[in-house]
Amino acid sequence: MCYFTRLVTFVKEETEMKVTRSQFQAYRQQDAKETKSANSKRKRAERERRDARLMGRVKGGSLPYTPEVMSWLSRKLDKPARRITEADVKLLQAEA
């Protein structure tokens, strides 16, 4: 349940009590903290799956790769896609 839904529910139950800016911000911060905690676990797992999938594509092919693979290689090697050489790719494969 998002912070706004919780806030509206809270306001409906407590009609005489007004929600201040600081309370609203506290609700929003708490919700963001919970969401970040839940999403970080999913994102970590997704990153690992993507790395495995794209490393398989790299091992199965040669330059030039598809744009998706070149973008991933660019992030992994921290260099522009046009500067990636076969030697860089072999080095990355050796590390994995």
Q: Is residue 15 part of a domain?
A: no
- Residue 60 is part of which domain span? 3-9+20-95
65 in helix, strand or coil?
A: coil
Q: Is residue 14 part of a domain?
A: no
Q: Is residue 59 part of a domain?
A: yes
Q: Express each pLDDT in 39-86 by its tens digit.
A: 999 999 999 999 999 999 999 888 889 999 999 999 999 999 999 999
Helix ranges, 15-95 (H): 21-60, 67-77, 86-95
Question: How many other CB atoms are found less than 10 A from the CB of residue 54?
Answer: 18
User: For position 81, what pLDDT does the model report?
Assistant: 92
